[in-house]
Amino acid sequence: MSDPETPPLRVLLANPRGFCAGVVRAIDIVERALDRYGSPVYVRHEIVHNRHVVEKLRRKGAVFVDDLSEIPAGAMTVFSAHGVARSVVEEAATRSLPVLDATCPLVTKVHVQGRRYAKSGRTLVLIGHAGHAEVVGTIGQIDAPIHLVSTVHDVAALPLDRDTQIAYITQTTLSVDDTRGIIAALNERFDDVQGPNVSEICYATQNRQTAARDLARSSDLLIVVGAKNSSNSSRLREIGDEMGVPSYLVDDGDGVDPAWLDGVATVGVTAGASAPDELVDSVIAALRALRPVEVDQLDGAEENISFSLPAALREPRQAAAAE
């Protein structure tokens, strides 16, 4: 129980935080599919990297599978927001599975860029993390060899001549700040490098990282709400650590350790792009159970972006407007 005589704990909320437009669209696709076609709806891999979101959809009738072979013939199928390889798309077509593609449009944009660069004859470099679902999908979407780099040291180790014509693309959960050094290393190592303008890298990732830095400057402690397997959530925690602020990644309020608050006057709270507001609320509730709490929100970038749903799920009026 909190002591009423204890000075209030100031809780600062990052802005923006939590769901991005791509995540909203992906979840909406699963929910609308359940409403329209009934359960079960099969989703290949986690729709987004958040256990709470996945469990909530599972309770509504979504079934999450690792492989298309687990999906019965004719069952409604959804591809996750991270995107899938062409081989998965082709397998679904071969099995005549009805598919709703929840791939984030910004991820699809990376696929298109990569194919364009490969068609022009350039050697492709993908800046990203090995094994991440988006990286696996991107590599499988492009019919050309791809060199994956995660660090400046990886650039130095590329088995390519200096005069190789290079084009780079990036994992969308990396920000301008994450990729700047690697892009600079590519330009230093090779004579001819092309790539997307840094402003084209995912707006949501950059906005949340900028907000996390602003938050860390004003906080004694940083709590990031998000899943351990969420790349963008983990990066937010790393930013706090880099700025010298004790930083922790929690799934929800149950992950808050009372010992973290010793000597702390201001706690900054933010959330990864796949974490819903209700989980932020649970963290605030956990803090409130320990100390009196005053909640403020920082100013930040306004996000008014939304992505359209697949045509099969649009209301008739929305479909007509889109056409």
Active site residue ranges: 134
Block residue for tokens 């909320």:
13
Nearest CA to 168 among 192, 142, 196? 196
**Beta sheet of 9-13, edge-to-edge order:** 247-250, 221-225, 266-271, 9-13, 293-297
Query: Please, what is the angle between helix 133-141 and helix 86-94, to 10°?
Result: 80
The pair of structure tokens assigned to 172 is: 């969308």
Reduced to 3 states (helix: H, G, I; strand: E, B; else coil), residue 268 is strand
Strand partners, 297: 13
Report the distance separating Cα 90 and Cα 208, nearest Å. 35
Helices (runs of H) and strands (runs of E) counted in the chain? 11, 13
| Residues with Cβ within 8 Å of residue 148, at least 6 apart in sequence | 125, 126, 128, 130, 135, 139, 154
Nearest CA to 82 among 57, 60, 52, 50? 50
Specify whether the CB–CB gap between 243 and 269 falls below 8 A: no
